[in-house]
Amino acid sequence: MKKRHEQKLIILSLFLGVALNLPLILATDSSRHLGGLPVVYVYVFSIWLLSVLLTFLIVKKYDE
């Protein structure tokens, strides 16, 4: 894997560190529901799904 692809994965890791930080998770914690699920669950699982998809795309596209 090339250096710039490793850098993309490091940037993704830093984004996840910020996005899944407790203050941001608590900011989405409310009594509201989205699609029958609490907003905090939708936030955490959408960030998780986005990270899995982006990691897959980076590794699949640039696997050499």
pLDDT tens-digit map of 32-55: 898 899 989 999 999 999 999 999
Tell me phi and psi for residue 37, to 5 degrees. -115, 145
Tell me phi and psi for residue 32, to 5 degrees. -75, 155
**Where in the sequence is the domain holding 18, given as residue range(s)?**
3-61
Degrees, nearest 5: CA angle 19-21-5: 45
d(CA 11, CA 32): 31
Report the number of distinct structural domains present in the chain: 1
Cβ distance 34 to 52 under 8 Å? no
Q: Which residue has the higher pLDDT, 1 or 54?
A: 54
Question: CA–CA distance from 12 to each of 2, 37, 56 (Å)?
Answer: 16, 26, 12
